[in-house]
Structures are given as C-alpha cells and as structure tokens.
Amino acid sequence: MPTPAITSNFTGEHAGKYINAALQSGSTIGNEEVTILPNVRYKTNVTRLTLGDVIADATCNFTDGSSLALVDREIAPKEMQVNLQLCKQDLLDSWEALQMGFSAYKEIPQNFTDYLLAYVGEKVGAEAENYIWTGDAGTSGEFGGFNATLISETASIPAGQKINAGSAVAVDSTNVLARLGAMLDALPQSVYGKNDVRFYVAPNVARAYMRVLGGFASGGVGANGYQNEGSVGFKPLNFDGIDMVMCPGLTASTMLLTRKSNLFFGTGLMNDWQEARVLDMADITGSNNYRVIMRFSAGTQIGIIEDVVLDGLGA
C-alpha cells in the first residue's frame, strides 16, 4: 500500500471529532462531574459568598444584621501545547492492521489522518484526566490538579473532615464500606442533601466497593441499586444515595466527598481542545515525517475548601 497523503492543515470540525472524543472519554470531564469554566483567557475568580443568619426580631427601623463575606479564589489556566514529529511508516503498519479487523476502535478510521488524530487524541485525553487530579503546574506539560490544592490547603479542611489524610492506608473490600460511611458522617450538614454531592474515588476504591456489593447482591441488584454489568440496565455506583464517580487520575485509595459545583475546571476556548494541525513535511523539507500541533489551556480550583471531606491524599 502506498504511503498515505497527510492533509497539510487538518483542523476544525473533523479534528474535533477525534480529539474531543478522546478528551470526553475521561470520567471527570467527559461526564461533566466538575464545573467547567470556558473562555478563561488569562485568569478569573471563583467567588465564594458566605451569609450569616438573616432572620431577626422585627423593629421599626432597618437594622443590618447579616454578615456577608465575599472571598475570591483565583483560577489561572496554564497554556500548553502538543508538538509531535513522527515518521509515517511508524504507524502505517498499525493503521493497515486496523483495516483488516480485530480493532479496538468502535469505528475503524478509514483515513490515515483520522487514525493519527484518534491516536494522539487518546493520549491527550488520558493525560488530561490524570492531570485534573494529580497534575503539578510546576512540572512541564502538566497543569495544576485538585490534589495540589488539597495538599497546599489541607490545614483549611476541618479536622473531622480529614480521614487518613496524607497517609497510605489502602482501601480494600474489608474496609471500603466503613471508610465511605465515615466520610458521609463527616460531611457538613449544610452540604448533605444537595443534589450535586459526589464521591470522587480512585479506581481501586470503586473496584473494592463493587466487590463488596457483589457479595450480598440478590438477583443481580445490590443494596445500593448497583446492577451487574451483565444484567439489563447497568447503573452507576452510589453509596447511601450519593453518586460515586470513578476517577482514573486519582491517586490510589484517595476519596473526596463534595459538591460538583465546588470543583472547577477552567480553560480558554473549548474549541482549542478540538483543533489539531497535521503538517506533512514532505512538501516542506522533503522528509517522510509529519507533525501534529495543538495549543490549549487548563487549570483547576476548589471553591470552598471547607466543604470537602477527604480520605487519603497522595502527594
């Protein structure tokens, strides 16, 4: 098969089909389990508003008896890029194998450029899912994740809401129920009952919890509404009515309990995540290489650190 031609400037809608699909494959961003703030060009503030008791005994006069406080928490997405140079032949054999079947893709890319973008997009999506939790803005190629904020501001989390914080106590099927229960018991009363409260858990925590449910499931349905994947109507996990989100980027045995509206992912233009340029260097340098170029920005912030219950924290 001859070497396929690479579009000299492959951007926009078609690129987005592959790059954005990969980005959306992560649990956190793909399922919008955090609050996404687009169009952050440089910096923006997440404003925290607190209001004390407002009801007072009636009088003939106006008496301001409230205590209103506004606290801004900054989110500054970090600009990043993808610059790759690869030889066409290196991936050509893999692409040809896809055309013959036994593909991991649901839809086999018929065009080599499509395959290339799917290949790169899968890597970008996986890294973004990891960095939204454990990324370090001081490390090249990473943006600051929620872990960094929790580490730097752990003193602001009330003592009763830090369970095994900073430790490496492993979660398994023998202790997962007790640990989840302890977190829920520690959740502030003002947060409990809100419809966007979530358990954000590492994969090993979700695995341990599913194993426990399988132990006392009846007819394929566990006590918390979990159905085995083989049964009709597979449902997401929940604990005591609180949805559980498995986050591949979370450090092992780490769990957070807070509101979705308390976790923010900031970026510039969402379209930046959907644009990739593929340059065929044959027409420029005469080589058999191609280059892939992307530019985008990302950052995270926690709105009210005191509304987080934390179990375990991997630095």
As beta bridge partners, residue 222 has none
What is the predicted pLDDT for the residue at 200?
94
For residue 248, name the pLDDT band (cuts at 50, 70, 90).
confident
CATH number, residue 165:
3.90.1690
The reply to whether 300 falls in a domain is yes
**Displacement of CA 218 from its chain's centroid (Å):** 33
Torsion of CA 271, 272, 273, 277, to 10 degrees: 110
Residue 164 lies in a domain: yes
CB 145 within 8 A of CB 164: no
Domain assignment of residue 280, given as a range = 13-47+71-311
Residue ranges of alpha helices (H) inside the chain are: 13-23, 27-30, 88-99, 112-134, 146-152, 176-186, 203-215
Structure confidence by residue, pLDDT tens digits, 229-241: 444 444 578 899 9
Distances (CA, A) of 255 to 35, 99, 170, 228, 289: 18, 42, 11, 23, 44
Q: Distance between CA 208 and CA 226 in Å, rounded?
A: 13
* 93 within a domain of the structure (yes/no): yes
Q: Is residue 7 situated within a structural domain?
A: no
* DSSP-assigned letters across all residues of 126-190: HHHHHHHHH--TTSTT----HHHHHHHTGGGS-GGGEESTT------TTTHHHHHHHHHHHS-TT
Residue 56 in any domain: the answer is no
Query: Which runs of consecutive H residues, i.e. helices, occur in 49-111?
Result: 88-99
Task: Dump pLDDT digits (tens) for 44-94.
Answer: 766 666 666 667 777 888 777 666 665 667 788 888 888 888 787 776 666
- Measured in whole angstroms, how far is the alpha carbon of residue 129 from the centre of its chain? 5
Give the pLDDT score at 198.
94
- Overall number of domains in the chain: 1
Q: What is the pLDDT of residues 149-158, one digit of tens each?
A: 888 888 888 9
Is 201 within a domain?
A: yes
Q: What is the pLDDT of residues 5-57, one digit of tens each?
A: 444 444 544 544 544 555 555 667 777 788 887 777 767 766 666 666 667 77
Contact 312, 164 (CB under 8 A): yes
- Tell whether 197 is covered by a domain: yes
Q: Which of 188, 212, 208, 211 is nearest to 262 (CA)?
A: 188
**Mean per-residue pLDDT for 89-112?**
59
- Predicted confidence at residue 114, as pLDDT, reads 72
- pTM for this entry: 0.75
Q: Is residue 269 part of a domain?
A: yes
- For position 5, what pLDDT does the model report? 47
